[in-house]
A = this chain, B = another copy of it.
Amino acid sequence: MTETRAYHHGDLRRALLAAALEAIGEVGPAALSLRDLARRAGVSHAAPAHHFGDKAGLLTALAAQGFDLLAQKLIDADDVLEAGVAYVDFAVTHRAYFEVMFRPEFYRADDAELIAARERSGAALRSGVATLPTGGAPGDTDRDALAAWSIAHGFATLWLAGALPERVGDNPRKAAREVLRRLAT
């Protein structure tokens, strides 16, 4: 959709999204400034508004991209444990995406593309958990998926918030794997 080609300035839409990722990495999604993005892209201060309407529009596009990226990472994982590790790895590696994705107050949660992308992530997660031989009652899969999602998401957000003690180390994949193992038993 919105096939942006090089018009006056170039592929501005894409350039703005890239600049946004960079800026969010530096100052966080809350302090993101459209005018700063315009400066980074070398265009006037009102140019971003044309492509995204407002700040929420831009972050909506970013969040949708992020959910698609995450879905792919989850699909590529070999098993549930590795999917959890991939989830944490995504959060740390693509911090800017992750920080936007789970802050619906920053974007339009009713956007069609965003909802579709988020659903792809959810499906990837559930399909991984469904392969588990838990042998529990039917319907347990939902709760297992929720538990797996919760522990991976919790570890990722605590890591990003810098809330974890130093003793956890500096290797998120390794630390995440040890913690996630507590669930699978």
Contacts and interface: CB of A to CB of B under 8 A. Distances in A.
A153 B149 CA distance: 11
Number of copies: 2
A102 B185 CA distance: 29
B163 A102 contact: yes
Nearest to A134: B182
Interface in A47-64: none
A153 to B, nearest CB: 4
A135 interface: no
Interface residues on A, range: 35 or more
Interface string A85-127: 0000000000000000011111001000000001000100000
A179 B105 CA distance: 26
B183 A182 contact: yes
Contacts of A31: 105
